[in-house]
Chains A and B, each alone.
Chain A
C-alpha cells in the first residue's frame, strides 16, 4: 500500500518545553488516520508541521513526497486543510469564500457544484459571522476539498458542535474518504476516533504511545470483556470458571460479574442457557478506546495532558 505521509523521529521544542518528542508514523493512501489525544498532547503541533505551518526541530517528514519545511508552497497545492480555531472574515459570504479559495488552485473550481455537494446552496449569501458551528465546519470541509486534494488534514473538526451536528460531520468525513482522499483526523473525542478512523495513533505528552486499528488496540490493550447479570436462585456462578475463556467470576450484592477474553460473551451465554439460566439483564461490556487510552496513558482523555 502506498504511503502518503511518513514521519520519522519528529521533534518540536519551544525553548525548554518539548511539544513533540520522537514521533514516528506512516499514513497510507485512502485511509482515515486518527491522531487521538487530550489537549496539550502535541496533536495540533504535529499536523501543523505536516502542512508546513510550523518548523520542526528534529526528525524527517515527507508528505506526498514533499518536505513540508522546505517545499511548503508545492505541498499546499496537493493538500486541503481545516485548522483548529481558524476563521474567515465575518462579512465574507459563503459563495465568496469558495470563490476566493478557489482562486488558489490552477484549475477553475466549480463553485455551484461545491455549494450543492456540501449542501451550502441555502447559505450561499450568508456572511461567515452568522453561520452556526456546524455550518462553519461544513464550509471549512468544502474549502479544504477545493481542487480535489490528495490529502486533507482535519483538526478538531467537531469541537463545539452538538451531537446531531457531530454525526452529520462524521458523514462528511466518510464522504471525503469515499472520494479517494486520504484523511488525517485530529481529535480528542474517543468515539469519533473509534467510529471514523481506520487506524489511530494515540498521543500523550508529545509521544505516540500506540498506533493501530481501533479493533486491534482494544483487543490488545483494552483489558477483558466483562459480562454482568443478576444471580439466579440455585445457580452457582463459579461453575462458569470451567469455561477456558473466563478469567474471573465475582458476585456482589446479587450481581454476577464475569471477566474474560473476547469470546467469553458468547461462551458464558451458551453455558447459562445450558444450565437453564436465562437472566433478563445480561449485559456485555467490550473494552473501548477509552479503556485503551486509560491503560496506555494512565489518565482519561477528558482529564487533559498539558504538563
Chain B
C-alpha cells in the first residue's frame, strides 16, 4: 500500500508540472543572482568560504527547506480541507503510509531542484567540486528526512492550505534569510546568528557546508536533523491517525 500510494502521489505531482517549476524557480533564480554577485568574494563574513560555495550550499538547503516548510504542509492541509484525509482514513490508509508518500514527493522535488542548481553552478560558474561528495549527499538526505518530518507535522496540524502556506512562508523566509539566503550571517548580530544556526534550516545548511569544505560531517547538526526527522514522523503519524 505504501509503495502504491507513493507511486500514485508521484504521478499526481508529475501532472502538475507548474507546481514543480514555480516552487523551484524562485530559489534557483536567487541562487544564480547571488552567486553572480558574490562569486569573487570570500572571508569570515562568508563563513570562511568563497561566495559561490557559500550561496550554492545555502540554496541546496533552501531546495529542501522550501518543500518542508511550504510544499508538504500545504499539500497535506489541502487534503484535510477537501476531505481526502477523511476518505483515506475511513478506507484504512495508515498514517505512516501517508507520511512516507509525502516524504518521497518532497525528496523528488528537492533532488530535482538541487540537481538544477548544481548543473547551473558547474556549467555557469565553474564551481569547485565538494571535498566530500558522500558527506554532502548524507547531509542532503538527512535534511530531506528532517524536513519531511517537519512538513508532515505542519500539514497534520494546519487547518487549511492557506494557513499552511502563510505559516510556511513565514518559517521559510524567517529562517532562510538569516542563515545565508539573504545577507551573509557574518554581518548579523551574534545572538541572531546563534539562534538561526539552530533552526532546522541553519542546521541543514551547516550540515551541507561542512563536508563540502572538507570539514567532515557536522556531527551535532546531523544528529539534530535525525532527531527532528524522528520527532516529526512520530507526531505527524499520530496526529494524522486521529484528525
- Report whether A96 and B11 are in contact in the complex, using a CB–CB cutoff of 8 Å: yes
B138 contacts A by Cβ under 8 Å:
no
Chain A's closest residue to B93 (CB) is: A104
The digit string for B161-179, where 1 denotes a CB below 8 A from any CB of A, is: 0000000000000000000
Contacts of B4 in A (CB 8 A): 99-100, 103
- Report whether B83 and A92 are in contact in the complex, using a CB–CB cutoff of 8 Å: no
Q: A83-B83, A100-B5 are in contact. Are A91 and B16 (CB under 8 A)?
A: yes
Please pick, from A73, A88, A89, A92, the residue contacting B92 in the complex, using a CB distance under 8 A.
A73
Contacts of A96 in B (CB 8 A): 8, 11
A86→B82 CA distance, assembly (Å)? 7
How many B residues, CB 8 Å from partner?
19
- Report whether A101 and B91 are in contact in the complex, using a CB–CB cutoff of 8 Å: yes
A64→B90 CA distance, assembly (Å)? 16
Chain A's closest residue to B15 (CB) is: A91
- Report whether A87 and B87 are in contact in the complex, using a CB–CB cutoff of 8 Å: yes
- Report whether B84 and A81 are in contact in the complex, using a CB–CB cutoff of 8 Å: no
Chain A's closest residue to B12 (CB) is: A91
Please pick, from A89, A92, A104, the residue contacting B91 in the complex, using a CB distance under 8 A.
A104
A143→B89 CA distance, assembly (Å)? 13
A50→B83 CA distance, assembly (Å)? 19
A51 contacts B by Cβ under 8 Å:
yes
Q: A83-B86, A85-B83 are in contact. Are A103 and B1 (CB under 8 A)?
A: yes
The digit string for B70-102, where 1 denotes a CB below 8 A from any CB of A, is: 000000000100111011011111000000000
Chain B's closest residue to A72 (CB) is: B92
A77 contacts B by Cβ under 8 Å:
yes
Chain B's closest residue to A140 (CB) is: B87
- Report whether A53 and B84 are in contact in the complex, using a CB–CB cutoff of 8 Å: no
Chain B's closest residue to A76 (CB) is: B92
Please pick, from B11, B87, B90, the residue contacting A88 in the complex, using a CB distance under 8 A.
B87
Contacts of B93 in A (CB 8 A): 104
Contacts of B11 in A (CB 8 A): 96
Q: Binding site of A, secondary structure by majority: helix, strand, loop or mixed?
A: loop
- Report whether A81 and B83 are in contact in the complex, using a CB–CB cutoff of 8 Å: no
Q: A73-B92, A99-B4, A100-B5 are in contact. Are A89 and B12 (CB under 8 A)?
A: yes
Please pick, from A89, A101, A143, the residue contacting B84 in the complex, using a CB distance under 8 A.
A89
User: A99 CB to closest chain B CB, in angstroms?
Assistant: 7
- Report whether B92 and A77 are in contact in the complex, using a CB–CB cutoff of 8 Å: yes
- Report whether A88 and B84 are in contact in the complex, using a CB–CB cutoff of 8 Å: yes
A136→B142 CA distance, assembly (Å)? 40
Chain A's closest residue to B85 (CB) is: A86
How many A residues, CB 8 Å from partner?
21
- Give the residues from 118 to 161 in chain A that come closer than 8 angstroms, CB to CB, to chain B: 143
Contacts of A103 in B (CB 8 A): 1, 4-5
Contacts of A76 in B (CB 8 A): 90-92
- Give the residues from 276 to 303 in chain A that come closer than 8 angstroms, CB to CB, to chain B: none
A103→B94 CA distance, assembly (Å)? 12
- Report whether B8 and A86 are in contact in the complex, using a CB–CB cutoff of 8 Å: no
- Give the residues from 46 to 84 in chain B that come closer than 8 angstroms, CB to CB, to chain A: 79, 82-84
A87→B89 CA distance, assembly (Å)? 12
Chain B's closest residue to A127 (CB) is: B15
A87→B86 CA distance, assembly (Å)? 8
A91→B79 CA distance, assembly (Å)? 12
- Report whether B12 and A83 are in contact in the complex, using a CB–CB cutoff of 8 Å: no
The digit string for A98-118, where 1 denotes a CB below 8 A from any CB of B, is: 011101100000000000000
- Report whether A86 and B90 are in contact in the complex, using a CB–CB cutoff of 8 Å: yes
A38→B5 CA distance, assembly (Å)? 37
A137→B14 CA distance, assembly (Å)? 27
A91→B89 CA distance, assembly (Å)? 19
A101→B8 CA distance, assembly (Å)? 11
A91→B12 CA distance, assembly (Å)? 6
- Report whether B79 and A104 are in contact in the complex, using a CB–CB cutoff of 8 Å: no
Which among B1, B84, B91 has the highest number of chain A CB atoms within 10 Å?
A: B91
Which among B15, B79, B89, B90 has the highest number of chain A CB atoms within 10 Å?
A: B90
A51→B87 CA distance, assembly (Å)? 12
A101→B91 CA distance, assembly (Å)? 7
Chain B's closest residue to A99 (CB) is: B4
User: A63 CB to closest chain B CB, in angstroms?
Assistant: 13
- Give the residues from 1 to 53 in chain B that come closer than 8 angstroms, CB to CB, to chain A: 1, 4-5, 8, 11-12, 15-16
- Report whether B8 and A104 are in contact in the complex, using a CB–CB cutoff of 8 Å: no
- Report whether B12 and A53 are in contact in the complex, using a CB–CB cutoff of 8 Å: no
Contacts of B87 in A (CB 8 A): 83, 86-88
Contacts of A51 in B (CB 8 A): 90
- Report whether B83 and A86 are in contact in the complex, using a CB–CB cutoff of 8 Å: yes
Chain A's closest residue to B242 (CB) is: A55
Q: A85-B83, A91-B16 are in contact. List 4 more A-B contacts (CB 8 A).
A: A73-B92, A83-B90, A88-B84, A103-B4
The chain B residues found within 8 Å of chain A, CB to CB, are 1, 4-5, 8, 11-12, 15-16, 79, 82-84, 86-87, 89-93
Please name the 10 residue pairs, one residue from A and one from B, whose CB atoms are nearest each other, closest first: A86-B83, A86-B87, A76-B92, A87-B83, A87-B82, A81-B90, A91-B15, A103-B4, A86-B86, A103-B1
Q: What are 24 sample pairs from A and B whose C-beta atoms fall under 8 A apart?
A: A51-B90, A53-B86, A53-B89, A76-B90, A76-B92, A81-B90, A83-B83, A83-B86, A83-B87, A85-B86, A86-B83, A86-B84, A86-B90, A88-B84, A89-B12, A91-B15, A92-B8, A96-B8, A96-B11, A100-B8, A101-B91, A104-B1, A104-B91, A104-B93
